[in-house]
Amino acid sequence: MNKPKTLYPGMTAVHLGCMLGSPRHLALRRCGAAISRFAGRRVCSTMDQPEPITLRYFACQGRGQILRYMLFDSGRPFTDEIIGSEAEYNALPPGAMGICNYLPVYEGPDGSGGTMQLGQSKAITYHVAMLLGYTPATARESAKASEVFCLASEDVYSAILLGIWQTHMTGNPALVAAIPKMRQRLGNLETMLGARGALGASRPVDFSDFAALFAVDLIEQLFTPPAAASVLEPVPTVRGNAALLRQRSGVQAALERRCERMTGCPGEPEVVAAFREMEEKALEGAAGEYGGS
C-alpha cells in the first residue's frame, strides 16, 4: 500500500478554469497569481485492493467533491491525488492533466475490461456513476437524474463557486448578486427531486443525489447557520435526502476528509466573511423578487 503523504495546498487564480471545470473560464487565467495556503491534506489510498481508481484534483471541494462522495460511498479502491501547491501543479508530468490540460482527471477502469483517462468533471461523474452503480436502471430515470444533476451543478453550486472567484478578482459583490436567484433554483431542485420521490427502498441513491447534497453542503458553508436554515427550509425533500446521505458511512468518511476550502480562491475567507455581513440584504432581495420566506 502506498504510504499517504501530507500535502500543503496552495492555489493561484490562474487555476480558475480547472477549478470550475469549464473551458469558458480559462480566459480568466490572465488574472494575478496570488497564492493562498490551506491546511495540510492527506492522499487517501486503497491501492492494496483490486481495480484502483485515481482522482486527480486540487486541494478544494470544487468540481471534485461529488466524485469523492461517490467513490467513498461505494468503497471502490481509489487514490485521491490532491494537487496541493502551484509547484506540484507545474511539476505534473505530461499527460497528467488529460487531453484538456486541466483538472479534475480520472484514471481507472473503463468498464469494458481496460483502463482509461478521462477529463471534464461531468463526463467523469457520468462514467463513475455507471461504473459504481449510481446510474438509474431505466432511460427515463437516467434522464431525470441528469436533469437534477445539471440543475444542481450549473444553477446552484457553480453559481456559488464562480461567485466567490468573481468577487475576489473584481472587487464587486458578485456572490451577493447571485443569491436572489438561489431560492428559485432550489425550488426547482425541490420540484424535480419531489417528483422522483424521496430516497428509500423504492428509489436507490444515484449520482444526482450526491450533486444535491453538495448544493446543500455549500449553502451551509457559505451562509451563517440561521441564514442557511432559512434558505433550505422551503425545500424539505432536498434537505431530507441530504440528511439520509449523511447517515451513510462512506459519505461520512468523505465529509471527514473534505478539503477545508470550497474553491482554490486565495481570497475565499475574506469573500465569505464579507458575504455574511451582506447576506441579510441579499436574502431580503431574494424574498422580494421570488417570494421566498
Nearest CA-CA partner of 103 in 91, 118, 87: 118
Grid-cell match 426547482, residue found: 188
CATH topology of domain 6-132: Glutaredoxin (3.40.30)
Q: Which CATH class is domain 139-290?
A: mainly alpha
Cβ neighbours for 273, distance < 8 A, ≥ 6 positions apart? none
Is the pLDDT at 205 greater than 50? The verdict is yes
Q: Is this structure's pTM higher than 0.85?
A: no
| End-to-end CA gap in the chain | 52
**What's the pLDDT tens digit per position in 37-78?**
222 333 444 444 457 899 999 999 999 999 999 999 998 889
18 vs 160, higher pLDDT: 160
The 10 Å Cβ neighbour count of residue 208 is 31
| Every domain of the chain and the residues it spans | 6-132, 139-290
**DSSP letters spanning 72-135:** HHHT--EEEEEE-SHHHHHTPPTTTTTTTTSS-EEEEE-SSSSEEEEESHHHHHHHHHHHHT-S
Q: What is the pLDDT of residues 239-290, one digit of tens each?
A: 999 999 999 999 999 999 999 999 989 999 999 998 888 877 766 655 544 3
- pLDDT number for residue 239: 93
